[in-house]
Amino acid sequence: MEKIKIDLSNLDSSFPDTFSQEQIAKGKTSFLKKLSLDAHQFYGGKVQVMPKAGVFGFNWFNVWYTPGVSAVSTTIRDNNDASFDLTSRGNMVAVISDSTRVLGDGDCTPPGGLGVMEGKAFLMKYLGGVDAIPLCIDSKDETGKKLYPIYKATFSGGAIFPVYSFDLGEAIISPKEKTNMPATTIHPVVPKIKIVKLTTVISTPQKIVVNGFSLLTKYETAT
């Protein structure tokens, strides 16, 4: 057996030659689950919030916070669309789930889905440069539909991933109505939706991340 490389590229060949493909598949799954637990424990999760602006001296805290930031608040007060350019909202989405359908493990309780939702946020950032906040909600009734509309002023879009107990589809809000402004739109798949159409008028460069789609899901894109 080979020593497993840090990039896991030789994982298949690390099993005994006598193993069948089925045994290798089961062995890989067991190994990856154990490695995932150890790695998540080591890092304390896999996403974090970090400042992206420079602090060139102690007085710059007066620029990023009070009193300077007051100008940002009043500018947005007079023009809400300015929030997409003056705050992180323009590149921030919410990843929402009630954790009742977590991969193939079913209902994992609200915090139990956090690892998967963190994973989706991780992929959005790593593959698409989109900042995402995982939100696992403790709700299995109609109140869940109200969550994203309440918090939508903070986010550019919402990714509401499959839930079992109720349909969150009505809570999907497109981030910007004006097509001449850059936007990050997350169009999720919910159980009752079989065909997802991604349609938008693109007048500026856009970035689209297709994340977590089932192999059985049909989707169409149009520009």
Catalytic residue positions? 65, 120
Do residues 2 and 13 lie in contact, with contact meaning Cβ atoms separated by under 8 Å?
A: yes
Nearest-angstrom CA–CA distance, 151 and 142: 16
Nearest in space to 129 (alpha carbons), one of 157, 97, 92, 96? 92
Largest CA distance in the chain: 70
Counting every residue, how long is the chain? 223
**80-88: long-range contacts at Cβ-Cβ below 8 A with a sequence spacing of 24 or more?**
81/176, 81/178, 81/181, 83/153, 84/156, 84/176, 84/181, 84/182, 84/183, 88/131
